[in-house]
A and B are shown apart, each in its own frame.
Chain A
Amino acid sequence: MLIAQEFVRPIIDWHGVAPELTLLAIGAMVTLVDIIWNEKAQRIIPTLTGLGFLAALLPVLTLWSDRDELPRVMWDGAYVVDEYSLVLKGLFLVSAYVVVLLATNYMHDGDYYEGEFYQLVSASVVGMLVMTSARDLISIFVAIELISIPAYLMAAWRKRDLKSNEAGLKYMLMGVFASALMLYGMSLLYGFAGDTRLAAIAPALRSSESIPLITLAVVFVVVGFGFKVSAVPFHTWAPDTYEGAPTPLTAFLAVASKAAGFVALMSVVIVAFPEQSGVAEPLLWVLAAVTMTVGNLIAMRQTNIVRMLAYSGIAQAGYMIAPLAVFGDVPSSAARAIVIYLVIYAAMNLGAFAVVITAARKTRSGEISSYGGLFQYAPGLAVLMTLFLFSLAGIPPFGGWYAKYQVFLVLVEPATTAGYVLAAIGAVNAVLAAFYYLSIMKQMWFMPEPNGDHTRVQITPSLQAALAITAIVTLVTGVLPGVIPDVGDLVVALP
């Protein structure tokens, strides 16, 4: 057999892929520890996984300190490590660490499979790290699946609970369907470019003679990602899955998994679609406006706090899509605003979930009415929840206001009617959202405890740590917004 061309060993930039490899090694180690020591190791596995996320943060920091070398372009431009991807890698690792802190007691007390749960979380986070650097349709697709498939399994993790099973089934069927639609769009994009790299797709979309088919490709890809970020009208899985899944996993889905969807959406839209912003922008505009409005309107009617947070998360996703509705004129500011929003959203939303999980240790309930009297028996918790809710509502001086402010700045920057109208819709929605956040506060501060039970809430050390981290980040980003590192421009060129 004739081998016409010798195989050339690819050059691998080991430093560039060090975060992924570190996390992978830790995941493998957790698996081994779990297998060898089994029951005896259950106590240390969460700690080990958490430390693993922090260990994977080290190479991210060294890469950041070595910024002159950036961007590191690997594999013919299919994989890029730049400031944008490093900031997001940091975000994912820290969020995952907080999720592990939230899960520690929950998984142990609930008598669920523990070791495997943390392995699945680690695998999902490896997918997120890959996603931040992926600039190629194939790696974006595989990263999305690597994030989602462990999540489908974990959503059904409470095996005895029909609600959890249903959560897993719904999430899985919707997620797989969304991937299939997205793939159809991707196959068309590949057809135009003859190349799977995003940077090669952008110039191929310049031709105007294939507008109808390009439109279809863009629509399918955006719809596929719309499912992942739970944008209306593709959000129907989210509240059910959030309510049925184990609560720490819900926090993971609502924050990390959603952020990963946004990273994919941002990379594809900003790098591959600039030549067709006329097609993508109106679509994203409608998606943003509908998502924030519908999310808020339904959130008002919820009586279960996890469902309420799910719908509020949908509304927040609307704000995060909004900058993409004007990305054609201001691609860099749009990306910057979304990354800032993602960082702050992660802190405040994880914080709110931390309070929900802590309170549920006493109340055993997710109903908003069970929060009555929280201030009397757990003043600290009530104050923290107030902080997170103020931030979610966008009230200064907590992080949320700065995130929303950045979004509004981007929307008015190109000075187009579409941008102004969307900003106005966003402002109206901010007022709407304040209502339901305030109603929880009223419950906590002024209503009596429904059962008259005033025993204190036991806050475990890991939950204390989670609450402290999220509260500090929420406060600091609001007071000193400059601490969020600048993400620069997305690298769009081929090597």
Chain B
Amino acid sequence: MIDVIVFAISALIIIGGAIGVIALPNPVHAALSLIATFFGVAVLFVQQEAHFLALVQVVVYAGAIVVLFLFVIMLLGVDRAQELGVEPLAGQRAAGVAVGAVLLALVVGGLFLSGDPDRGGAVALTGQSGQVVPTVEGEQDVIQLARDLFTRHLLTFEATGILLTVATVGAVVLVRARGAEDLILDEPGTAQH
């Protein structure tokens, strides 16, 4: 029972945060609601005994990524409501609603239409309770995770390392100023066109 209550509360936080991200006119508020969503998801991870992943979710997503978002928003100074007032592409909002609703209907429909018809039909894949992860008795999720990461996914892990390195190098090159010519964050738009 407590499971269901915890799930319901975190689901409400997740959905509420998500709606905030897509609906709030102020980017700073949107970033803050994004944190709510990330925390809600972390709670769900803890509930499924994915403790390490929950930690990473909070540290990387809520910690690093949202701070990066906020940093750029503040740097650009676009913290005032600067959209929602105009709609340059007429009907884009309607199209967004339509596509979003169709996707939701498709996925939910897919979930309910799948599964064994003998068990009522309205079960996605199965309606059984999921077991929690530890497959080896007494072993923590982080040990299992590490074993899988450093055996089967070793090369992928290294590739991710390269990816993060080149992303940093490239981002620095794009944003850095060569000499002092374009370090003019106070007056953007004056850079040479």
Contacts and interface: CB of A to CB of B under 8 A. Distances in A.
Contacts of B111: 213
B139 interface: yes
Contact of A123 (B106, B162, B192): B162
Contact of B107 (A31, A150, A216): A216
Interface residues of A, number: 53
29 contacts: A2-B138, A4-B137, A10-B150, A10-B154, A20-B155, A74-B155, A75-B151, A76-B151, A76-B152, A120-B169, A123-B163, A138-B153, A138-B156, A139-B155, A139-B159, A142-B156, A146-B162, A149-B166, A153-B166, A153-B174, A157-B174, A159-B174, A160-B191, A162-B193, A209-B115, A210-B115, A213-B110, A213-B114, A214-B114
B63 interface: no
A149 B169 contact: no
Contacts of A24: 162
A279 B119 CA distance: 25
B117 interface: yes
B179 to A, nearest CB: 12
Contacts, number: 122
B109 interface: yes
Nearest to B147: A7
B136 interface: yes
Contacts of A130: 155-156, 159
Interface in B23-78: none
A382 B157 CA distance: 47
Nearest to B151: A10
Interface of A: 1-5, 7-8, 10, 12, 17, 20, 24, 27, 31, 74-76, 78-79, 113, 116, 119-120, 123, 126-127, 130, 136, 138-139, 142-143, 145-146, 149-150, 153-154, 156-157, 159-160, 162, 191-192, 209-216
B153 A78 contact: yes
A340 B163 CA distance: 30
B136 A5 contact: yes
A43 B159 CA distance: 29
B115 to A, nearest CB: 6
A120 B170 contact: yes
Contacts of A138: 153, 156
Nearest to A184: B107
Contacts of A120: 166, 169-170
Q: Which of A3, A149, A159 has the most CB of B within 10 A?
A: A159
Given A116-B169, A154-B170, 7 more contacts: A2-B139, A138-B156, A142-B160, A153-B166, A209-B114, A212-B114, A213-B111
B125 interface: yes
Contacts of A146: 159-160, 162-163
B162 A5 contact: no
B166 A150 contact: yes
A315 to B, nearest CB: 27
B173 interface: yes
Given A210-B114, A215-B110, A75 B125 contact: no
Nearest to A8: B151
Interface in B96-124: 106-107, 109-111, 113-117, 124
Contacts of A123: 162-163, 165-166
B167 interface: yes
Contacts of B106: 216
A472 B106 CA distance: 50
A393 B137 CA distance: 63
A405 B192 CA distance: 50
